[in-house]
């Protein structure tokens, strides 16, 4: 058996372990949440997002399913509502600041705040071995800037609690800083993004802006950017970096007002985004995000996970 086959076997074994863990119910002692706990999931009308809504609602939370189109969201939620789950649909387009503002005001008026935010909304226009950057600006705008703006808008609405509020962002191993493959070739930039003393929102924004500028002038191919799903990889690299930055910023909040932020890779999931070519089910893809959102004793922040295990950024 070669290295690739052994790695595939290990992944399959871990997926089976995680699937088994998912069948184990939380004890009353572990359940810090109730029907009054409010979770928001972005881009949740299909795929991983819809499954995250499903699993959270199955655990007894109230889940806000957001979608760019209300009718699409309502259709997606229909089966969940028929099953007696507490799911509410609301329109939200994370690339539209006015849409985020309207949503935040609606949350404040109807629920007074939220306890969990799952940033799932995202786009990817590469399929198979294709590596087009034709839609790079839209990918960065949605996956990074949209996610960042959503986090900023929801933090003031995070309700105080002894268990702490939670933010989970769906990301990707493709955005790892120090992966053996597909990493940024500029060593200095990579070190700056890795160094918590140097990491800043300005640095992250400047990095993705520079990438977009080089896409526009055609120089990106020779500037050391990732070579696999380049625009998607850069957007998730930015999400990962912003997660680490916000974890540091939020760590100073007093007890009772803690907010824990982490991100995770769902794997290559069989959804419309992957052209149904993935090797992981939506159920397995959603699992780690739900697990992070519900951790009974949430002491981790600014970490990156896959299959319920921490991995390096």
Q: Which residues are catalytic?
A: 232
Q: Which residues of 193-220 are buried (b: 16+ CB within 10 A; e: fewer)?
A: beeeeebeeeebeebbeebbebbeeeeb
Q: How far apart are CA 260 and CA 269, in angstroms?
A: 26
Residues 6+ apart with CB under 8 A from 189: 207
What sign results for the dihedral spanned by CA atoms 233, 154, 51, 309?
Answer: positive
Phi-psi region of 276 (alpha: psi -120 to 50; beta: other; left: phi over 0): left
Q: How many CB atoms lie within 10 A of CB 192?
A: 17
15-to-22, 92, 167, 190, 289 alpha-carbon distances in Å = 11, 32, 24, 31, 14
Cα gap 133→118, rounded to integer Å: 27
Classify the C-alpha dihedral 76-81-82-84 as positive or negative.
positive
């Amino acid at each position: 058996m070669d290295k690739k086959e052994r790695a595939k076997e290990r992944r399959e074994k871990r997926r089976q372990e995680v699937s088994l863990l998912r069948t184990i119910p939380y004890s009353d002692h572990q359940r810090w949440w109730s029907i009054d706990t409010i979770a928001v999931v972005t881009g949740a009308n299909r795929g991983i997002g819809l499954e995250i809504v499903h699993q959270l609602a199955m655990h007894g939370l109230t889940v806000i399913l957001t979608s760019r189109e209300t009718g699409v969201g309502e259709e997606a939620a229909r089966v969940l509502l028929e099953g007696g789950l507490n799911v509410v649909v609301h329109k939200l387009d994370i690339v539209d600041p006015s849409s985020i503002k309207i949503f935040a005001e609606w949350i404040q008026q109807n629920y007074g705040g939220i306890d969990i935010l799952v940033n799932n909304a995202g786009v990817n226009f590469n399929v198979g071995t294709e590596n087009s950057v034709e839609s790079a600006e839209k990918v960065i705008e949605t996956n990074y800037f949209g996610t960042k703006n959503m986090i900023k808008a929801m933090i003031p609405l995070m309700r105080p609690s002894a268990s702490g509020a939670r933010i989970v962002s769906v990301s990707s191993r493709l955005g790892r800083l120090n992966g053996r493959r597909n990493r940024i070739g500029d060593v200095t930039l990579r070190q700056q993004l890795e160094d918590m003393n140097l990491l800043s929102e300005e640095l992250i924004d400047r990095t993705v802006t520079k990438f977009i500028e080089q896409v526009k002038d055609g120089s990106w191919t020779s500037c050391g950017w990732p070579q696999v799903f380049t625009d998607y990889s850069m957007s998730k690299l930015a999400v990962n970096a912003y997660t680490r930055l916000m974890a540091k910023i939020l760590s100073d909040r007093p007890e009772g007002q803690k907010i824990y932020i982490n991100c995770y890779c769902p794997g290559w999931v069989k959804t419309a985004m992957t052209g149904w070519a993935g090797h992981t089910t939506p159920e397995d893809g959603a699992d780690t995000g739900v697990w992070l959102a519900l951790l009974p004793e949430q002491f981790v922040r600014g970490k990156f996970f896959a299959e319920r295990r921490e991995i390096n950024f």
